[in-house]
Structure 1
Amino acid sequence: MNSHLLAHMTWQEYQSKVNSSVLILPVGSTEQHGPHLPLGVDAILAEKMSLAIAERIDAVVAPTVSYGYKSLPASGGGPLFPGTVDLKGATLTSLVYDLLEEFLHDGWKRILMISCHYENEAFLSEAADLLMRNRTAEFPKILLSNWWDNLSAEVMPQVFNEVPFPGWALEHAAIAETSMMMHVAPELVREELIVDEGIDNPPSYQSFPPSSSLIPSSGCLHTARSSSAAKGRLIVENAADNIVAFLEKEFLVKKRLPNNVTI
């Protein structure tokens, strides 16, 4: 049993957290991640990142939203690969709106959404904005973030020490995500199936329907060569620490030490 997971709590345990804690809603996707990573990477990383944050501030982690907005060819491979299961933008917005509305109805004043799917954020922003736009009080408050925008500058050269950083869109199933999965779920990484290929010249436009010639048959957009569990741990811990830093400001929470002493 994990004491931070809402799904593992009784309703009384859940209710006791509402007034004093932060609720984290992880949002991922079900999407191809090449031959070496599972379809659930974004959902797995969303939950694991949320738990890393929760352990630092004693937060509650809601059940993960495991489907996301449409995978785009040059940032996820698109709908060309079996197992990529997409939601329409309006569907994702409506789903997340309903979830946030329910959590507010339960009494939550501080909610953080953690998205680990590149294409989700506009629709998560829309859901939060539609729900909160007429409210003027400081609380309740909803924040939206991800791990890649919360990496310290000094971490990037350590992660991309052998292969140059190609930009976050092409980093799909590449060094960062592969390393993170090696750290949080190594049993799901097929290291022997890592391929050293990707998109050399990503287009500056989108095509509908998407061109099957744009993406390598493996589904990889960039190499995962040089990935490691050590890099994955560095990414998770650095991003979690930086997210907690802005939660201390925005939510007035205190980081907890391993023995539950606040600092």
Structure 2
Amino acid sequence: MSYLIEELSWFQYKDQIDQNKILIIPIGATEQHGPHLPLGVDAMLATSFARALAEQIGAVVAPTINYGYKSLPMSGGGPFFPGTIDLNGTTLINLVKDIVVEFARDGWKKIMIFNCHYENEAFVLEGADLAAKERDVNVRTFIVNWWDNLDQQIVEQVFDSIPFPGWALEHAAITETSLMMHFYPHLVQEDKIPNDKVEEVLSFHSYPPLEGMVPASGCLSTSRSSTAAKGKLIVDNVLVNIGKRVLPKFPA
């Protein structure tokens, strides 16, 4: 039987709840990822991570939330590029809250929101917090970012020839490109990988955003030296660490 909710009948779905399984909700975004990667990178990676984890631990995967909070210039390129489709913060908060509440009212006790869009975090946290405070909700929700579950030694192996620029600038760069090479190699246009990077990392935000903040390609750091092998290295390490650090914290 499938572990994907959208492929289950309601009878099969209820049986998964009755078995007290973990429900994984992937969340990403739809935004530009340079000339070499598709717009759906964040949502696609969230889906693939969630499915890989579900297969490993016997969890169930909910339909992916494909839209996320506003892309920021210094962590996603910002609103300068067609195809970046953003949600307002209150929209994302309420979306996450409503989804968690609905699943909890169905009977799920253990939910993991697997996030792959850097800017989502604060709003996902708020939505989960508000859901937990609903009077008739009894659920434990964990919010997991893949980059928070990566060992330093793996970071060093991935950035073996180019210095690590920090997670904010790792947009459409080595880690995401390597992960896409691992999960979706047919969607990576390697001949279009740029060598761009942000020339000046600003210490402030501007509204409206300043012109010229982001390279014309949309890439904040170079993705040269990306490989599918590095992507697999990241995935394997993240899944192991979630198994050790996160899953034992769920109630029995």
Q: CA deviation at 1:227?
A: 0.1
* Residues 83-102 of structure 1: pairs in structure 2 closer than 5 A: 83-102=83-102
Q: Which stretches in structure 1 are left out of the alignment for 5+ residues?
A: 254-263
After the TM superposition, which residues 192-231 of structure 1 pair with which residues of structure 2 at under 5 Å, given as runs?
Answer: 192-231=191-230
For the residues of structure 2 that align with 1:159 and 1:230, how far apart are their CA atoms? 9
Distance 1:195 1:41 in 2: 17
CA distance in 1, matches of 2:34, 2:211: 15
**In structure 2, what is the equivalent of residue 245 of structure 1?**
244
Calculate the TM-score normalised by the size of structure 1: 0.92
1:132 aligns with 2:141: no
Which residue of structure 2 lines up, in the alignment, with residue 115 of structure 1?
A: 115
CA–CA distance in structure 2, aligned partners of residues 134 and 8 of structure 1: 29
Query: How many angstroms apart in 1 are the aligned matches of 2:103 and 2:203?
Result: 39
Contact residue 56 and residue 244 of structure 1 kept, 8 A: no
Conservation of the 8 A alpha-carbon contact between 1:53 and 1:241: no
* Distance in 1 (alpha carbons) for counterparts of 2:6 and 2:34: 30
The sequence identity of aligned pairs, in percent, is: 54
Counterpart in the other structure of 1:78: 78
How many residue pairs were aligned?
251
Secondary structure of the corresponding residue to residue 111 of structure 2: strand
Q: Mean Cα displacement is larger for which, 195-204 or 61-70?
A: 195-204
Q: Note the C-alpha offset of 1:13.
A: 1.2
Following TM superposition, by how much is the alpha carbon of 1:252 offset from its aligned partner in structure 2, in angstroms? 5.2
Match of residue 49 from structure 1:
49
Matches within 5 A, 1:33-72: 33-72=33-72
TM-superposed deviation, 1:200? 2.5
Provide runs of 4+ in structure 1 moved above 6 Å: none
Alignment-derived partner of residue 10 in structure 1: 9
Whichever residue aligns with residue 168 of structure 1, its letter is W
TM-score, normalised to structure 2, is 0.96
Q: Aligned residue for 1:256?
A: none
Letter in 2 for 1:154: Q
Taking the aligned partners of 1:105 and 1:11, their CA distance within structure 2 comes to 14
Partner SS for 1:25: strand
Distance 1:124 1:51 in 2: 20
Q: CA deviation at 1:8?
A: 1.3
8 Å contact kept, 2:25–2:114: yes
Query: Residues 228 and 50 of structure 1: is their aligned pair in 2 closer, same or farther, counting only changes over 3 Å?
Result: same
Return 5+ residue gaps in structure 2 as ranges: none
CA offsets, 1:82-105, max 9 Å, x none?
000000000001111111111001
Which secondary structure state, in structure 2, belongs to the residue aligned with residue 155 of structure 1? Answer: helix
